[in-house]
Amino acid sequence: MIKDENGAIVVNWNDMYDPELVYSFLRDMRYTSVNDTHINSENRFTTIEGDYNSTSSAGTGNFVIIPNEAKYEDKTVRFELIKRIADLAEFPEVDNFLLSHCSYIKDWMDKNPEDKSIELAFKATVSRSDDLGTVTDYLTNVKLTKSIFEDSKRKLELSVLVLAAIIKKFYKSDDKEFEIYNLTTDLQKFNSNNDVILNIMKNPIETLENYDIETSDVNNKVLSYHNGKFSVNFKKFRFLQNIILITPIFEMYRQNLDLKFLSYLITMKKLEPQRSLF
Amino acid sequence: MLQIVSQTNLDTVIFMSDDTPMYQVVGLNLGLLKKKFLCIGTEGLNRSSKLIDGKYYDGLQARFTKSNSTSYNRYSANRTFFKRVVKDDEKHETMHLTIANMYRHLDNISIQMKLNTPMKADQGVISQVEKLSSHVKISEKMQNLCDINLSSNIPLINKNIKTSEEEEELKNTMDLAVYKTKVFEENYRAMYPLLVLKNFSGEGGGEHLTTFSEFERFNKYSNMIKDVEKPSEDARRKFIELCEIFRLNKVIKNIKVNNFEVIQQDDYLKIRLFGITIAITTNLKHFLYFDHPGINFVADFIDKNDMLNNIEAKISKEIFTRI
């Protein structure tokens, strides 16, 4: 981060992925009341004009730092990466998997074209109160998510996320879109098992037929009705911290290859050797 | 077969072979209770074997003793407790019948029938349930049948009976109890498909609690139960949309129309048919495409009985009268 000849702060977008520079940016912004900002997309920098007052930490102003990616809001840097997928044609392996092994999901998509569009969202908020390790993790995940969204070499990892988002939308156990949290560990193992994953997507029955989905218990819900109370044990199935399905009768879904596939990916690290991506 | 073993003014001993239908035993008990002959419990009940017309019958010998109490409120003198257990080894079923006065006088008699069902439903029932879903495998665990526990209290002896009309009313009450027992005894297996579907609700519980009246209502539809199949797409959609409207409403928590009941709690919706829980769920919409056997069953049942309009009307009425 530098200051130009007029005293404006110039933020090079690449600096926003460096933890120490983000800290420095947040510190400077504490003392700056922002008057105006200018985004230069071509040269990838943003100019922030404002009044700097080192004796007062009452800096004001919310603004976009990197379009569709980072903004300064309430004295924090908020990263938000969103990938919208309107057509599964870009993901033939996902389309084929659903067509061949999850006809109910395919039916749903065919009859509800508006549900064909899915959204993957990554959100992280960096504030000055976070320690350097946490900020480093956030920024690693920002970079990782960006590379999955943009790098064609990581298409399979994106395919897995797209499939998971579709499955989540189908069961709709909560109203949230599919959110990407800390991907580092999980994606390392997906990446190192690229061929295995692709193979299972093409021919899931061989690997998954006798595989049992791993679920966790939700606290027992006590439901009441006219002649008493009864307790129901709900089970929860999560994938990358997203709730995919909550049900009191998981047994009914145990044969579903969509859920088996996601569960297998989670447990995969126990079965496959890993190698680091970074 | 019922046979009087001995009889005096104060004491009647009766042998009832195991093949005697329960409803006859209920009729016998009620008839004797009306004349104030009480069974005193385990002391008056013995397993026995008897030679009748050259053939041995296993059964129960029961002693009924005339109550000599002049007061209806004296507990010790007016306690009756009859229990009979009949096991059908071939069908793996055991029927328990208990007739007792629950309170301190004889004008309120409890008849309880508890059926220990086979561990698993037979193939015919499983096939019927399997036809309801293309997606769900009926695993061993889901083939389990819970026990059925059915009870009713009947007002039997009214100390103030004076007129012939009152006498006639009492007779009708007794006849009705015997009739309802007979209905249950002869038709309870029709309930087995619903007991298998209960497994798909996630509601635990070792037994299905019901009443004679509830079972009688079920029995009126028992022939139809056999014909229920996967619903048409339209019937399923209408049913699920209706349930979703109810799930999201903020005015009423439960509604009962004929034998169908929906109960809303938090985000959950519970669907019951004939008092049996068929589904508990948060999101019904995916069942438009993924076959939930229970929801398919109820959707087709409602469609075949033209009940959807009644349910819609009742929900609308309840909502409008409360807002």
Q: What ipTM, to 2 d.p.? A: 0.84
Domain end among B179, B194, B224:
B224
How many independent structural domains does chain B possess?
A: 2
Tell me the C-alpha distance between A136 and A142, whole Å. Answer: 10
Do B59 and B45 touch, CB atoms closer than 8 A?
Answer: no
Contact B296/A at CB under 8 A: no
- Do B219 and B276 lie in one domain? The reply is no
- Do B261 and B286 lie in one domain? The reply is yes
A1-17 pLDDT tens trace: 677 777 788 999 999 99
Residue A55 main-chain phi, psi, to 5 deg: -95, -10
DSSP character for B134?
Answer: S
Do B206 and B144 touch, CB atoms closer than 8 A?
Answer: no
Residue B136 is nearest to which of A107, A234, A252, comparing CB atoms? A252
Structure tokens at A16: 């926003």
Contacts across the A-B interface (CB distance below 8 Å):
74
**What are the chain A neighbours of B282 within 8 Å (beta carbons)?**
173, 246-247
**pLDDT at residue A221, rounded to an integer:** 63
Q: Please indicate whether, in this complex, the C-beta atoms of A108 and B266 are within 8 angstroms of each other.
A: no
Contact A104/B at CB under 8 A: yes
Higher model confidence: residue A207 or residue B154? A207
Tell me the C-alpha distance between A180 and B65, whole Å. Answer: 77
A89-118 pLDDT tens trace: 899 999 999 999 999 999 999 999 888 889
Tell me the C-alpha distance between B175 and B158, whole Å. Answer: 16
A8-46 pLDDT tens trace: 889 999 999 999 999 889 988 888 888 899 999 999 999
- Do B65 and B52 lie in one domain? The reply is yes
Q: In which domain, by residue range, is B264 found? A: 228-322
Tell me the Ramachandran region of residue A120: left when phi exceeds 0, alpha when psi lies from -120 to 50, beta otherwise: beta
Domain end among B224, B253, B279:
B224
- Do B182 and B40 lie in one domain? The reply is yes
Q: Which of A104, A230, A232, A252 would best serve as a mutation to test chain B binding (most B beta carbons within 10 A)? A: A252
Residues of chain B with pLDDT below 50 are 71-75
Contact B144/A at CB under 8 A: no
Give the helix/strand (H/E) hosting B166. helix B164-187
Residue B286 is nearest to which of A172, A233, A246, comparing CB atoms? A172
Do B239 and B204 touch, CB atoms closer than 8 A?
Answer: no
**What are the chain B neighbours of A105 within 8 Å (beta carbons)?**
289
- Closest by alpha carbon to A223, among B292, B202, B211? B202
- Do B186 and B258 lie in one domain? The reply is no
DSSP character for B191?
Answer: G
Contact B55/A at CB under 8 A: no
> How many other CB atoms are found less than 10 A from the CB of residue B172?
10
Strand order in the sheet with A9-12: A2-3, A9-12, A45-52, A32-40
Contact B290/A at CB under 8 A: yes
Q: Which of B199, B280, B281, B295 would best serve as a mutation to test chain A binding (most A beta carbons within 10 A)? A: B280
**What are the chain A neighbours of B146 within 8 Å (beta carbons)?**
none
- Do B203 and B241 lie in one domain? The reply is no
- Do B21 and B93 lie in one domain? The reply is yes
Q: Please indicate whether, in this complex, the C-beta atoms of A247 and B281 are within 8 angstroms of each other.
A: yes
| Angle value at C-alpha A106, between A102 and A112, nearest 5 degrees | 145
pLDDT confidence bin for A274, thresholds 50/70/90: very low
| Prediction pTM value | 0.86
- Do B206 and B243 lie in one domain? The reply is no
Cα distance from A225 to chain B (closest Cα, Å)?
7
Domain end among B171, B198, B224:
B224
